[in-house]
Amino acid sequence: MDFELSEDRRMLRESLSRWLADRYPPDHRLKVAYDAPFHDPALWSELADLGVLLAMATEDAGGFGGSGFDISVIFEALGAALCPEPVLGALLVSRLLAAAGQDQSGLLDGSVRWALAVGEPDAPWSLDRIATQARGGRLTGRKALVYGGNDADRFLVVARDGDRLSVHEIAASDAEVVGFGTIDGGGAADVILSDTPARLVLDDAGKAIQSALDAGRLALCAEAVGVMDASFAALLDYLRQRKQFGRAIGEFQALQHRAADLAVEIEQARSITLLAASRLDGEGAARMVSMAKNLIGRVGRQVAEECTQMTGGIGVTWDYHPAHLTKRLVMIDHQLGDTDWHLQQVMAGIRA
């Protein structure tokens, strides 16, 4: 199979990478990622104008992309720049609106910020444990860790309607939204629903929700690859510059071997992400995405640990940008199912 990017995707990657390098340097990211609203609203509009959101949706949905490779190109670039903009939430919502045949022009042009409320305190990843109830156009329940929910205008909420899952639209102003910043930068929220008025968007939506979450998991895998690349580049730079006993520490064979091992692991992570991207929306997509998310979690932790150990004390300081890359790598594993959870899904055959 040919994994070379098409000309359009190369142009998208290059233009997005240039924009991020210019508009989201580490010092700017540090200013906005840890203080409300935990991203830069002005740059969100620019990101939309660049066509990034349009590239995540199919032509039928009003975009010009939407494939696994389109998603991976975007999120790998976002990961390399450690961009905290709430693009993941927009992707998840876009997939569900497309499945429902709903208009998403406001989402794709960036004028309306959306977030998907699916996880709950007792069901962070498993759809079969969703407890939020939908009755008579009203929702009651609590959603936890809604990515981008702290600054969202509207939500899609996954709820249980009898023995089926359904998707409903609500206005942020109709719910109690408790926003907060995450440890690795960016914003999220808990959403408390108490007889909240809602509009049904998609009924009997289990498969559509699963497909949207798989797209989000692929996006996280690609983002992790971008973060790994940035972490490894920073590590090599440190090994070349840091001197001990009159020599750059990168000349010591033990550190060279450890760095070489990391390079191999990162390429394995990249390969399985590309394979998952090629299978998205096809046969065996869910299983492949779970396999990718499992490997990404394991490699991400290894890269984070090795980069921290080889850079020493500076590797955990606030002003050292790679320290924030490390935090992001660790936390990606905990989004949309961690390493152990995805391994269980594959072993149990649930996601065959």
Q: List b or e across 219-242, with b for residues whose CB sees 16 or more CB atoms inside 10 angstroms.
A: bbbbbbbbbbbbbbebbeebbeeb
Report the Cα 314 to chain-centroid distance in Å: 27
pLDDT of 144-169, one tens digit each? Answer: 999 999 999 999 999 999 889 999 99
Q: What is the average pLDDT across 198-205?
A: 96
User: Could you give the C-alpha distances from 157 to 42, 139, 217, 218, in angstroms and in order?
Assistant: 26, 9, 18, 21
Nearest to 260 by CA among 235, 242, 230: 235
Say what the pLDDT of residue 352 is. Answer: 43
Q: Which residues contact 28 (CB under 8 A, 6 or more apart)?
A: 40
% residues pLDDT > 70 (the chain)? 98
**Angle ∠(66,67,69) on CA atoms, nearest 5:** 125
User: Please, are residues 230 and 76 in contact by the beta-carbon 8 Å criterion?
Assistant: no
User: Please, are residues 88 and 224 in contact by the beta-carbon 8 Å criterion?
Assistant: no
Q: The domain 7-108 is classified under which CATH number: 1.10.540.10, 2.60.40.1730, 3.20.20.150, 1.10.3720.10? A: 1.10.540.10
Q: Which fold has domain 207-348?
A: Butyryl-CoA Dehydrogenase, subunit A; domain 3 (1.20.140)
Looking at the structure, give the CATH architecture of the domain made up of residues 114-203.
Beta Barrel (2.40)
Q: Is the pLDDT of residue 313 over 70?
A: yes
User: Please, are residues 332 and 295 in contact by the beta-carbon 8 Å criterion?
Assistant: no
**String of DSSP letters for 196-245:** EE-EEEESS-HHHHHHHHHHHHHHHHHHHHHHHHHHHHHHHHHHHH-EET
Q: How far apart are CA 244 and CA 221, in angstroms?
A: 36
Say what the pLDDT of residue 1 is. Answer: 55
Say what the pLDDT of residue 304 is. Answer: 95
User: Please, are residues 86 and 56 in contact by the beta-carbon 8 Å criterion?
Assistant: no
Q: How far apart are CA 19 and CA 51, in angstroms?
A: 12
pLDDT of 122-141, one tens digit each? Answer: 989 889 999 999 999 999 99
Q: Which residues contact 223 (CB under 8 A, 6 or more apart)?
A: 75, 76, 78, 79, 332
- Domain borders along the chain are 7-108, 114-203, 207-348
pLDDT of 166-193, one tens digit each? Answer: 999 999 999 999 999 999 999 999 999 9
